[in-house]
Amino acid sequence: MARVPSGNADKLSALIAEIEAEAYARGQADARKELRDILDAGTAGRAVAGIARAKPAKPAAPKRRSSGRKRAPKGSVPRFVEQALRDRPGQTPQEILARAASDMERLIKLPSIRTELRNGRRQGKYELNDGRWSLAPSDAGHTEAEQAPPADAPREAAPGEQVPETAAEADSTAASSGSETGGGADG
């Protein structure tokens, strides 16, 4: 690099500083003008023609599912798979899918059935033998609904307790037992 005499270097530094100050002042003036234009337009969110920095970001378009397909309702896949294997044990995932009869069941896809079978196998719900799936022996013939007694089923009496025959008797028994104990927690 060539040596510049110190007098010329000072002049050059002063000239650069002056140019930078003018550019900074122009930038400030342009920014003020853009802000005024935006505020004069009425709303800060509306873009002013010709001002690239003042354009607001467009909101993202809502995401759509590919081909607009609907999804199967939550919980329908396990119910469908359990029912299919209960009706006919020893099926492949494709055979289970082929049993879909209703519109809701037809929304279930093969990967969902495979996932349910794989996860259910880890939980002990299903077992795999020679590529065919069945309900695990401990789960065969039992569902959550079958394990809990129906609301209208007669309940068993504890030793020394009398079980009411009708709902009206149950209501009157509950009311009378509350009055016998005083209805409080002090016993």
Measuring CA to CA, which residue among 28, 38, 39, 116 is closest to residue 72?
A: 116
Query: Rounded CA gap, 56 and 36, in Å?
Result: 16
* pLDDT at residue 169 in the model: 53
**Separate counts of helices (H) and strands (E) for the chain:** 7, 2
> What phi and psi, each to the nearest 5 degrees, are found at residue 111?
-60, -30
* pLDDT at residue 97 in the model: 93
Query: Rounded CA gap, 116 and 82, in Å?
Result: 10
Q: How would DSSP label each residue in 25-68?
A: HHHHHHHHHHHHHHHHTS-TTSPPTT-STTPPPPPPPPP--GGG
Query: Rounded CA gap, 108 and 112, in Å?
Result: 7
Tens place of pLDDT per residue across the chain (187 aa): 456 567 888 899 999 999 999 999 999 999 999 888 888 886 545 544 455 555 666 777 666 556 666 888 889 999 999 999 999 999 999 999 999 988 888 899 999 999 999 999 999 999 999 999 999 987 545 444 444 445 555 555 555 556 555 555 555 554 555 444 444 444 4
Query: Rounded CA gap, 41 and 44, in Å?
Result: 8
* pLDDT at residue 4 in the model: 53
pTM: 0.40
* Spacing of C-alpha 175 from chain mean position: 45
CATH number of 72-143: 1.10.10.10
**Hey, what amino acid is at 54?**
A
For residues 134 and 90, the answer to whether their CB atoms sit within 8 Å is yes
Query: Rounded CA gap, 170 and 95, in Å?
Result: 48
Query: Rounded CA gap, 120 and 126, in Å?
Result: 6
